[in-house]
Every structure is written in C-alpha cells, then in structure tokens.
A and B are shown apart, each in its own frame.
Chain A
C-alpha cells in the first residue's frame, strides 16, 4: 500500500504541503510567461489543508478547490460516495476511477474521511476568541547591488537635475505586512500593507505604506453562503465576463481548461490592481445561487485632462513619473451572477457594469483599434455545465454593450477510466474587450482570437501517465508585434513516471509555431514569418530520509523564418535537507543556463520564502544559486531566509536597463520572512 498515512509524506518525493502547493503551481505556470499571483493560490490551498474537505460530505464546489483534479475525477469521487456510501478509510481513494497515485498523494493534505452527518455549527463569539487563528507575516526583500534608480548625482553635476528627477524616491527595501485571522473556513479576516522597492515610505511624496488592503469573508451565515467586505474577488463562469484572477490555461494538466474557485472571496494578495473594493454577498435561494457585489476604488492611469490611454497595473510608484499616475481614475463596478443547479445541469447568468470617472482612450494604432475606450462598459454572459453519462459539457457566451461576442465551449469525455479527453473551442471577437476577463487563451487579453484545443490524458500502465494537447489558433486582427492577421499552433506531450514512492520523473516535449513580424523588415506592407520553438524538459525528483533532490534539464531550439536554429540549455541540481532533531529545513540549488538568444530564454521555478514564488527568466550565459532556509523557532514563530545570486559569464558589463540598471555581472537578492502565529 502506497498510502500508508499522511505522516509518511516525509518519505515521498515531495515532502511538505508547502512544497506540494509550489509543485502544483509550477506545473500550472510552467508554460506561462506572465507574472501570476501566487499569494491567492497558496493561501487558498493552505487554507484548504487547514480545513480539509470531508470526503463523505462534500460538493463539487468544495472539490473544485483542488485545481489539480479534473472535472471527471471530481465527478468520479462524488459518484463513488453516492453509489457505495461513505468512504471508510482514505485507502479507498485507490478504488475510484481515474485517480492515480500522483493525484491521491496530492489530495492527501486537503481531504479527510469524516462523518457523513456532520453539520455546520452555529458560531459564537467565544469560539472566535478561543479557536480562531491569528497569523502575522512580515517580509523584507533587498537587492545587494545598487541600481541606477538609487544613485543620485551631486547637485554641482550639470546632469544632476535631469538624472535625479527621474530616480526612485524611496529606498531599495521591499516590505510587506500581512495579518490573517481565520476560524475554520467560516470567518476569514485579512489585512495587507506593502511597500515596493523604490517606493517612498515616509517623505515629501508619501507617508506610510504605498498599498493597503483589508478584507472580511463570512461563510455559511444564515441564508448567506458568502459575505465579503473590503477587498475581494469575484469569479464566475468560464471567465469571459468576470474572472480577475489567474485562470486555467495551457499547462501539463491538460484536462483542466476551465477556471475554478468560482464565487466571491476575500482578497489578501499584494497585486495592486486585480481586485474589487466594496462589498458582496451570495445567497442560496432554493436551487438558485445569487451573488451580487459593488466595488468603488481608485486605479492608476496616465490621466491628462480627464483622459487616460491605459490602465497602469503594476502598482509600482517609485519615481515621480509613476507617482503621477497613482489613483487618478475612479472605478465603480456593480455586478452579479445567478446560477441554477438542477441535478446534472447548471446554468448561470453573469453581468458586470463599470463606470470610470475619466475616459479611457488608448493611443490608437492598428493592433489596438478595437480596444475598449470610453467611460462605461457593460458585459453579460450565460454559462452552463452539464453532465451526461461520461460526457461533461461546459461553456460560456458573453456580449459587451458594443454588441461584440465571445464564446467558449467544450467537453471532457472519459470513455474508459484510463483515458480522458477534452476539446475546447473558443471565439473571441476582435471587438470584444472587457476589463475583467481571464479565460482560456493564447494571450492574456481575451479578444481577437479563435482556436480549437484538444487534449488527452492516458494511463496505459501502472506508474505511467501520458498527457498531450494540441492547440491551433488564429488572430483575425493584428496583435501587438504582429501587423497582420496571423495564426499559430502549440503541441505538448508529457510523460510522468512514478518509479517508486520516493522517486518521480517526467519528460515534457513542447513545440510551437507562431507568426510574427519579420524582424528588421522595412517593407510598407507587413511581412509575417513563422517562428518555431521546440523544447524538451526532464525533471527527476527523489528523496532519501531527510534529503530530497531534484534534477532538471531543459533544452530548446528556436528558428525565426528560415534562419538557423538557435539553442538554449538550462540545468539545475536541487538539494533539500530537513534536520531530524531541529525544525530547520534548507534548500540549495545550483543552476547554469546557456541561452544566448532572447528567444531561447527560460523560465525556471525556484523555491522561495513563504508566500513568495519565483520564476526568474534566464537568457545569456551564466549560473544561479540560492539558499533557502526555514526555521520554526517554536509553535508561534517561524523564519524564512533566502539568498540568491545570478552571475553572468557572457561578458556583459551591466544588467537590466533604466532605473533598474546594475553595474557588473552579478545580481544578488536577499529575502526574510517572519511568521507569528497566535
């Protein structure tokens, strides 16, 4: 028996819940080049591990919180409990169709076998005081090399006024404070304050932290399923109307193409744009679940005379030019969703209306000709989900007030328990451009795209799993950097092998063809060429006693048009040691990279302090290493410390550009995190 107990996780290839969450996130984001909010992902799963799902009294919504499970796997778990009665022991998970050992190991921290008759108890104030958990997180980041933005010229220098006026006003430290209170999963309260590196903490331009956020979430209070106050997020349907959070995209979880974590939920991340500020509630009215919310907050934009050309989403307010954009636009949003669930069928209606007090007017170019401009926007859509036999149908169709449409429809199908298939068709009109959409797409912007995605997951033998997808897409209107309608395709094949309980490995082969402008072309008419990129990654994870190791190697080839192929290689060795007698864990990595061409760049996940997730980009030649330490002083205090350095060996004399420029070929980052639980 492989699942002996949760305590035996230390012997598994992935040993801690934190590491497991990071591992799942890495699989999601391996193909992503966008900065993705890890805070929320981590917090959702760590909260789930603290309040594990009772398998004998669960719902699809609850199981949806485990993003590594496919729709079919969730259906199979629910169906098993329905058909055979309550699960008696966690070992029974092996009997459920479609769950392999990797899935079950991933599930273990987040599920439990409880009584089928458990009911939600009334909450009393005393319970909150006695059993509620408080956590305070304090994080500090610093770069050891001084960046240009912090170098001020003496006043007598003739260039002083020009250079100094563009520099950062604050110091190089990043600091955040996060407070979190939760009583089971019923009451959650959070507060966050953040100062980015370069932002002024106390001075002429700014006093205190640059960003504050507070949130309250109450679950199962009387008729209210959820109440959110303060900062929150609202995710509904497949993300065409409302999904300001990272959704599902192309990843090695090839079957998971629809977003999860639907509904209203508190916001406690440090992302300064993707959230709402106000209040919302969800009520269960018979078979209909109704959610409504209102948000009113200031956002950043380059506003001049009541017009701004783009929303500034980075949340960085370091230099005067960035500060000038801060909170120049008021944004009011009202929205909601009503979803009817009847047996195996679900249909919902989502709508959102936005009012801005200044006019968004992008600097018109061909590629952004259809981008939203104006002061107000309304978007509405219908989403559905239906299960029939072994077929799961789902989709969403949305319209904006300019009459443009977006639709996404698909199905998953499990003909036999070892084979699962998925198909997904999407059409996003070039004119469809709504502000809070995050759906399955080749790019981060949900418009101007049509495509068909096919995926399959096959478990032909014990210990082996194969996953593959093919995605063919077309942009009917020019995109940024592509001056004519274009097309492309993506292919992925991944083989996972769980050789032993303490050893897993995978091979990932990816191939992509995509059209782009011919670089250096001076022709009047746009000239598109096809760029090709192929990559192969091998990842090996194994553990012995208190040591765990990871080897990763990846190579890629890139070819622009008919030019020569260029290559890139990256390889790393990770060692993690958990001391047996003291609560100390150390992670160490050595890595080298060799990708002279930017198009051969790599993104490689690395371990970090709690609540942080690093996927640095590498190109050029060089090496990187880091040491990450976690020490639990006692039940109340835990410390994380990380030091990482990248050294380039390709004779470059400075790194980065503008205010971020560092003289030399080394970049060193230090991070400290303290957690106080009380």
Chain B
C-alpha cells in the first residue's frame, strides 16, 4: 500500500495513469488486437504474413525460412506518440542449410504495467516452393496488484507458399490454443490471432500485398499495401488497413550495404499518428 501511496503522490505518475485510463479503453476498442505485445511489422499496413522479403519478430515465423544470411534487428514502435504504449523489439536470425533458427524479444508498456514476449523460432525453406516455421513463445506480464510476473508458453505457426513465381500465400497463427493467464483477480487474455495474406509481384520492383487478421474475439482487420523499389537503395510503401476505421499508411525503406532502415507511419483518424522505425543488419551482404 505504501508504494501505491507514494506513486499517487507523484504528480507525473498520476498524469500518466490518468492519461492511460482514458486512452487504453479507446485503444482496445479501436485496435484489432487486444494487446500491443505483437510488434507491428515493417511491411506496409502490417501485411507481413506473406512478405517473403522480410521477417519481423512475432509475425509470420515461416519468413525466417527464407533468410539466406544471418541478421539482427531492432524495432521501435511509438504507438500514437505515447511512450507508455510503445513497443520495443529485438530479433536475430541465423541461416543454416537444414533449418534456420532465430530468437526474438518484445517489450511493451512501462514500469507499472508491462508485457514481454520471448521467442525461439525454427523455420525452413522447402526447395523454394514453400516455407514453414514454428515459434515457441514465452509471454509474461507484470501485474502491479500482486507485484509479480505471470507467464505462459504459447506456440506460433507460420506457412508461406509460392503458388506461382509471382504469387504466394502466407498463413500465421499466434497463440492458436487460446492460452490465457489466470490470476487471482483477473484473466489476462493473450491475443489469439489468425492471419492469411497474399503477395503478388507485378514486376520485380512492384509488389502488392493483402492480409486478413482475425483475433479470435475481436474484429477483423483487413489490410492492403503496395511496395515499390524506386531505386536500388530506396523503396516507398503505400497502403491502408481497416478494422473499425480506415487507417492510411505510408512508409520508406532504405538500404545501405548491410544495413536496412525502415520507417512506417500510419494515421489513425481518432488516435493519431503511429510510427514504426526499424534497423536491421544482415551479415555477409556488404558490397
């Protein structure tokens, strides 16, 4: 109780709590997902499930199967410019002939309430026809009421299939068994998400992706986007997704040697601007 009392006396903390009390209900209503722990992907409008060129932590693990060189990356999502809602993530992937392996980590929240996700991924590309990946995740959340962490293990399964050289399908399911955390006071629901998407290359420079996400007890999320490689080092991305509102998205990708930079922005009509910035380093690709 003392610690709570001290917190309440701190005016900055009070402001944060008050702000979050107002914003979180909106956020949970307006977002297709009931948790921000899954990092938004760098793919435009979050169309990562079929994006064979890019593997994002806790998105489709099959995409790790396409990795040809080891890589590491970090990502920061400044959700609606509220640092307490931000998500930071880290990922590292290693490529071998038999199977590719990776680890990932994500942190969302702030000191009073935060969630963390650890992942271990195994994925393989099967003769460049399709790739499959399985991810073992450990989710943990800090519950201020009991001043303790509670966690759960949950799997994630991904698939990517090249139906033709220019058209492919992607499927991903996060927490398919609907594992939740039961505490003495609350049941913390961990999102259980099914995603299905397509990727179509009009030309090697222009790709179009679509995706449907369904968090099992939330609204559908429909997303689509184009990515155009303007010049060798620069790509632009344009797309939108809709759940309760239509959200336009704009992004840029820039690569310089072994470094890849991505910056994506989306403008929610009610919640405002959301930005995702990512840096990735691919080993052995320096020119």
Contacts and interface: CB of A to CB of B under 8 A. Distances in A.
B177 A645 contact: yes
A571 B178 contact: no
Contact of A592 (B163, B177, B194): B194
Nearest to A592: B194
Interface in B157-204: 157, 159, 161, 163, 169, 171, 173, 176-178, 192, 194, 196
A590 B173 contact: yes
B177 A503 contact: no
A240 to B, nearest CB: 46
A140 interface: no
Nearest to A623: B216
A542 B163 contact: yes
Contact of A551 (B177, B178, B196, B220): B196
B127 A622 contact: no
B26 interface: no
A168 B51 CA distance: 53
Nearest to A622: B216
B159 A573 contact: yes
B130 A649 contact: no
Contacts of B216: 592, 594, 621-623, 649
Please report whether the interface of chain B is mostly helix, strand, loop or mixed according to DSSP: strand
B171 A551 contact: yes
A544 B177 CA distance: 27
Interface in A573-618: 573, 575, 590, 592, 594
A649 to B, nearest CB: 4
A621 B217 contact: yes
B194 A623 contact: yes
A590 B163 contact: no
A545 interface: yes
B66 to A, nearest CB: 15
A647 interface: yes
B129 interface: yes
A544 B171 contact: no
Nearest to B173: A590
A623 B126 contact: no
Given A542-B161, A549-B159, A594 B176 contact: no
B171 A573 contact: yes
A545 B127 contact: yes
A569 B221 CA distance: 13
Interface in A542-557: 542, 544-545, 547, 549, 551, 553
Interface residues of B, number: 22
Contacts of A594: 214, 216
Interface residues on A, range: 20 to 34
Contacts of B177: 625, 645, 647
A401 interface: no
A650 interface: yes
B129 A647 contact: no
A30 to B, nearest CB: 21
Residue of B127, B169, B220 with highest tally of chain A CB at under 10 A: B169
A590 B192 CA distance: 12
A544 B176 contact: no
B124 to A, nearest CB: 11
Contacts of B192: 623, 649
Contacts of A573: 159, 171, 173, 196
A551 B126 CA distance: 19
B176 A547 contact: no
B173 to A, nearest CB: 5
Contacts of A545: 126-127, 129
A163 B194 CA distance: 42
Interface in A643-657: 645, 647, 649-650
Nearest to B162: A544
Interface in A331-345: none
Contacts of B127: 544-545
A590 B159 CA distance: 12
Given A551-B171, A647-B178, A544 B130 contact: yes
A551 B170 CA distance: 11
Nearest to A588: B157
B163 A623 contact: no
Q: Top 9 nearest A-B pairs by Cβ distance? A: A649-B217, A649-B216, A544-B129, A647-B178, A573-B171, A592-B194, A590-B173, A590-B176, A623-B216
Given A590-B194, A592-B214, A647-B177, 7 more contacts: A503-B163, A551-B169, A571-B194, A621-B217, A622-B216, A623-B192, A649-B192
9 contacts: A542-B163, A569-B220, A571-B194, A571-B214, A592-B214, A621-B216, A623-B192, A623-B216, A625-B176
Interface of A: 503, 540, 542, 544-545, 547, 549, 551, 553, 569, 571, 573, 575, 590, 592, 594, 621-623, 625, 645, 647, 649-650
